[in-house]
Chain A
Amino acid sequence: MNRVVISETLRRHLTNPFFLAYVALIAIVAFGVSHFNRPGSMWPSMIALLAMITGAAPIGPEFSSGTLQIILVKPVKRWVYLVSRVTGVVMAVSVGAIAGAVCELVGRAIWSDALAWETIGIAFANCIGDAILTVALLTLLGSLTRAYFNIAIYFGVQVTLSVMMAAGGMLRASRSTIGQFLGEHMGIERALFVVERNLFPEFPLGFDRDWMLTVLSNAAVALALACIAFRRREVPYGAE
């Protein structure tokens, strides 16, 4: 990995007023909800959104802006650049997660007898695992597309899977021809469910070792595929 790329990625986020404002919002929300909500709630969802926003930027938009072409002539291997960018982004997201977890702990220390540090720690670990997968998926899509099409495809796939699963359930209930076909071939619905669960996993309530391993291994596969795609990708300059 390239230390210069990681530190620059992190620096760019930590000096971005919008990023800092969002982290401040996470901190305020975490502190506020510690007064009345169950431990480790709300702010992990904000971290998931932060991972989507920050994870969309590497590669695709850099390609369209022409930044990538300047960087690719520097003595850094493509896959090293890619993995370093992902690492920098995950570190930036972690800053938000740390802010959320610490502020919730501070809030609970003020307002409650129980710190619930274990539950908050699990929420922290879960949202970091989820962020790694999100950033890896967006990087994979970014290594195949231009501009911010990666985030469009990411949401497109998510929405399509949800709609297909809902439609499949309704069709089965309607007892139509298609419904009967789906009823006889439950594997189709199960496959959609497995794909959705692997790409867009929901946070478990506690610490689930299998969930964490699944998320991290899926992220590793996505990142490896991104490296392979990016290695062979043509990046003509001057192309819009």
Chain B
Amino acid sequence: MSVRVRALRKSFGKHEVLKGIDLEVAPGEVVGLIGPNGAGKTTLMSCLLGFLHPNSGEITIDGRANDDLEVRRGTGFVPERMSFARGETGWVFLRYMARLAGVPSGEVDARAKAMLERLGIWDAAQKKLSQYSRGMLQRIGMCQALIHEPSYIFLDEPTSGLDPNGVLLVRELILEQKQRGAAVLLNSHQLAEVEKVCDRVLFLSGGVIATEETLKHVDRIVIAVTLLAGSFDAATIERVAGAAVRENVVIVSVETEADIAELVREIVGTGAGVIDVRRHTADLEKIFRGAA
């Protein structure tokens, strides 16, 4: 297990913010952290990164303490608001971050250039950070977090302030990190983004994980088949699909893409009209409201 948290508690004075958090993020997994304001998301992230010291509980990353230098060597962090010496250029800032993160000196320039190009801000490399827009700062924040190819990535609202292209880019980058085998913890209020990139979502409320929802099963595909009202017999569909029909939607889990086509063919074979077939994900808004 990559990132592991057990019975984590954190108080500020008499106010207990985290009341016993258990959490695991496996390599190659993207876990979303959502919850209302004041739920303790930032406090949890701060404890994981070693900015705050928990009152009790255990945080281990690949079996080591979170302030172990080996762990730090493999950690990437994007804060919600990027802030640094604004008089520096993006290029100088990124080179410094890369050197500090332990990127071999011979590779620093090449990697910095590649990251700036990948994030679409190479043209602004020689501009001072004070001239960067919020979105550009967010992009350079991603650059500094990923330049050393970390294994444990902590993202706090990485798409805030980004235009739609930037949002798509960050989504791509997160999925690339997942494919690379990195464990990613994403703190975000943008439920649509969380739904698109996360494998699991943790709903933090009142200092505890109120709900945990798996959005993507590793070996199963969950689909929702919407049927034309009045065109089907519910009992027949339930027999063919092996799942109950609710209103005019049947939610089924299959193993492969070919199974989807086969299932749809069988449903249509019963005389039912199929309006829509799409991957099914949890209704995060509904769960968010419930958990909050």
CB within 8 Å of B: which residues of A? 2, 4-5, 8, 12, 16, 65-67, 69-77, 232, 234-238
Contacts and interface: CB of A to CB of B under 8 A. Distances in A.
Contact of B84 (A16, A67, A75): A67
What's the dominant secondary structure at chain B's contact region? mixed
Contacts of B101: 74-75
Given A73-B49, A236-B42, A12 B85 contact: yes
A218 B49 CA distance: 33
B107 to A, nearest CB: 14
B46 interface: yes
A236 B50 CA distance: 9
A4 B96 contact: yes
A175 B23 CA distance: 70
Contact of A236 (B46, B75, B97, B102): B46
A74 B79 contact: no
A65 B83 CA distance: 6
Contact of B81 (A66, A72, A74, A235): A66
A130 B87 CA distance: 29
B85 A72 contact: no
B180 to A, nearest CB: 19
Given A75-B73, A237-B42, A4 B100 contact: yes
Given A74-B102, A75-B72, A76-B100, 7 more contacts: A2-B100, A70-B77, A70-B144, A72-B50, A236-B42, A236-B51, A238-B42
Interface in B70-96: 70, 72-73, 75-77, 79-85, 87-88, 96
B113 interface: no
Contacts, number: 80
Most chain B C-beta atoms within 10 Å of own C-beta, residue among A4, A66, A67 = A4
Nearest to B144: A70
Contacts of B100: 2, 4-5, 71, 74-76
B192 interface: no
A69 B42 CA distance: 13
A75 B96 contact: no
B81 A73 contact: no
16 contacts: A4-B99, A65-B84, A66-B82, A67-B85, A69-B49, A71-B100, A72-B49, A73-B50, A73-B72, A73-B75, A74-B72, A75-B100, A75-B102, A236-B43, A237-B42, A238-B42
A8 B101 CA distance: 14
A73 B148 CA distance: 12
A234 B84 contact: no
A8 B53 CA distance: 29
A74 B75 CA distance: 7
Interface in B22-60: 42-43, 46, 49-53
B218 interface: no
Contacts of B51: 69, 72, 234-237
A25 B52 CA distance: 44
Q: Which 7 A-B pairs have the closest CB atoms?
A: A66-B83, A75-B72, A75-B73, A74-B100, A73-B77, A4-B99, A75-B69
Contacts of B83: 65-67, 70
Contacts of B81: 66, 238
A66 B82 CA distance: 7
A35 B43 CA distance: 62
Contacts of A66: 79, 81-84
A69 B101 CA distance: 14
Nearest to B99: A4
A71 B154 CA distance: 14
Contacts of A16: 87
B79 A70 contact: yes
Nearest to B10: A234
B187 to A, nearest CB: 11
B205 to A, nearest CB: 19
A226 to B, nearest CB: 18
A65 B52 CA distance: 17
A65 B42 CA distance: 17
Nearest to B53: A234
A79 to B, nearest CB: 12
B204 to A, nearest CB: 16
Nearest to A65: B83
A27 to B, nearest CB: 23
Contacts of A77: 69
Nearest to B50: A72
Contact of B96 (A8, A235, A238): A8
Nearest to A74: B100
Contacts of B46: 234, 236-237
A97 B82 CA distance: 35
Most chain B C-beta atoms within 10 Å of own C-beta, residue among A16, A66, A238 = A238
